[in-house]
Structure 1
């Protein structure tokens, strides 16, 4: 190797190491945050009900019992008023806004690195899967403490008396108390099943991206051509419903790990107890309200995201 060739190789290495950052476009962060916040405000009550169904293992007699979604809505409103349906909405807004924002930011930066900034070149399904998995892990590291506070605020029942260490006045109070009494490990409860759940987001994005490509191919258009509102809604909702149906059990395990009313010895302990006392049905508690929630939520998120990206002139 000549002296003239060596600097070129070093420069190339530097270029590759900075490739991720040069392909990071903050329009994706803004679009993701806006989409996440818009969808959360719309469907939070269903998220609340899903969590309450998911953690109900019939081991705590004082925990409210619901006979269905509508019965849950009536019971919550009767006990806590209409605002009771929005318990835990603050961390949910912040969590979903941050999660979708970071997810889209990382996802598109990684995709852009893969195709070297050429958005006209389609990626393979395996590349979409890899980008989605990497984005999911990075996002989970940043947002897991928020999901712990959301779950615990959603599970504050007036009928269940807890000591002051597990009774929370709001998101900040919850974060501080969890850290004070349970440490960093408390803030990252449910992290392991959350990592497993990264496959959920990865699967959803692969399905979503492939749906758009296949549909545009069917319409004889460019693979990244802009779709109509209805088409984005259909692709977003369909991809989320399929991914949720396949991967839902991890959400039950994560919610039970984060539940302040019960003590478990880890995810394996929860899986064993759930199978022993509830059978396979236990892993799908809350699936129906979850499906009711994810369809409009994801459709709204993806629609708002795509429209803002188009407005800002960024290319996906």
Structure 2
């Protein structure tokens, strides 16, 4: 059975990296399908002009009334393909870093700082892919009723590239990398720390832990990640939602100044409610899909 393979057999599997990527892709697809409505709500709040929405619930009501339920899945195609790739890279790099640290420790247990460093490395790697993918998604998510600038993901890419080349497509990359480095470190530190603690407590292998416990650990990891990096994400969203034809922000400092002047310190936490509501189900789905797929293929 796949769930009873000795750890040394798993580590020496010549197809391990490909399996990590495949399982990460499964986790990414699950994350998008579960989390997209929450993410659309979050982005609308983060990037809307003052007075547009009074609360997260106000976003939901206006989206349903003016654009219909499918509006919550605007821009889904890009993340469904892209986030699958992003999460596959994230999990594959994290698993590789775990093997690196385990070898460095002569087969011994990893320390909590090592879990953080492994997760941080995975975040920096996937940030290069996540940056432009999230930029495209945000352009589509922030389109409301009436004339639209973009007909779809490919149209976004074409118009952004024609306007500002690769540099415009990768707008917000610095904030994305900072967010991913800190956030993914916190994310995997929390998850792996909880998994290791439970394994010791119950005397079980990783493959023997119940799925509901993995769901719980994944949800808690999502909370840890977002609470550690949310203001950075707000800054990134405002940079990427800024007009690509007549931008207000020429730098992160200008965007930060605008947010503070318009909303005060609370502006850096706009949209945190739907984000935290999303964190538990989306990240629980991500980790369970990853772990269960890993058990299935060995």
User: Same fold by TM-score, threshold 0.5 exceeded?
Assistant: yes
Find the aligned partners of 1:24 and 1:232 in 2 and give their Cα distance: 21
Within the alignment, does 1:242 sit opposite 2:224 as a pair? yes
Match of residue 90 from structure 1: 77
Match of residue 183 from structure 2: 200
Deviation (angstroms), 1:225: 5.0
- Write out per-residue CA displacement over residues 55-106 of structure 1, whole angstroms, 9 at most, x where no aligned residue: 1241xx7xxx223333322211221222222111111212321111111111
Give the counterpart of 2:117 among 112, 119, 130: 130
Query: How many pairs are equivalent?
Result: 283
2:103 is paired with a residue of what secondary structure? coil
Match of residue 226 from structure 1: 208
Find the aligned partners of 2:210 and 2:20 in 1 and give their Cα distance: 19
Alignment of 1:1-316 (within 5 A): 25-58=17-50, 65-116=52-103, 121-159=108-146, 167-197=149-179, 198-222=181-205, 224-261=206-243, 262-313=247-298
Contact 1:102/1:139 (8 A) holds in 2: yes
Find the aligned partners of 1:28 and 1:91 in 2 and give their Cα distance: 22
Where does structure 2 lack aligned partners over 5 or more consecutive residues?
1-13
Deviation (angstroms), 1:193: 0.9
Find the aligned partners of 1:226 and 1:269 in 2 and give their Cα distance: 51
Deviation (angstroms), 1:207: 0.9
Deviation (angstroms), 1:120: 6.0
Find the aligned partners of 1:68 and 1:27 in 2 and give their Cα distance: 42
Of Structure 1 and Structure 2, the greater helix share is in: 2
Find the aligned partners of 2:106 and 2:209 in 1 and give their Cα distance: 16
Find the aligned partners of 1:33 and 1:98 in 2 and give their Cα distance: 6
- Write out per-residue CA displacement over residues 203-232 of structure 1, whole angstroms, 9 at most, x where no aligned residue: 11001110111122222335x453101100
- Write out per-residue CA displacement over residues 172-224 of structure 1, whole angstroms, 9 at most, x where no aligned residue: 111111111111111111111112102011111001110111122222335x4
Contact 2:122/2:184 (8 A) holds in 1: no
Q: Which runs of 4+ in 1 moved over 3 A?
A: 117-121
Contact 2:130/2:176 (8 A) holds in 1: no
Find the aligned partners of 1:275 and 1:70 in 2 and give their Cα distance: 23
RMSD after superposition? 2.3
The verdict on how the C-alpha distance between 1:57 and 1:201 changes in structure 2, with shifts beyond 3 A counting, is farther
Find the aligned partners of 2:229 and 2:30 in 1 and give their Cα distance: 24
